[in-house]
Amino acid sequence: MEKIDLGNNESAVCGVFQNNDGTFTALTFSKSKTFKTEAGAQRWFERNTRD
């Protein structure tokens, strides 16, 4: 997980997070997508955060 402090008690995060319903959400600073598996979310996250 990467976190950027935006000031004024605001922050932006990116990474792969588990949801309450058992799915996983991959978040970049500009995109997000929900997956059934953590492996799928991790692959998408890596593909979309490469330089």
Rounded Cα–Cα distance for residues 51 and 43 (Å): 15
DSSP one-letter string for 4-16: EEEETTEEEEEEE
What's residue 33's pLDDT?
96
pLDDT at 51: 63
Token pair recorded at residue 1: 């997980």
Tokens read off for 49: 């955060």
Q: In which domain, by residue range, is 36 found?
A: 2-49
Q: How would you write the pLDDT of the chain (51 residues) with one tens digit per residue?
A: 888 899 999 998 899 999 999 999 999 989 999 999 999 999 999 999 886
CA count, 13 A, side-chain hemisphere, 11: 8
User: Is the overall model pTM greater than 0.85, yes or no?
Assistant: no
Domain tally, the chain:
1
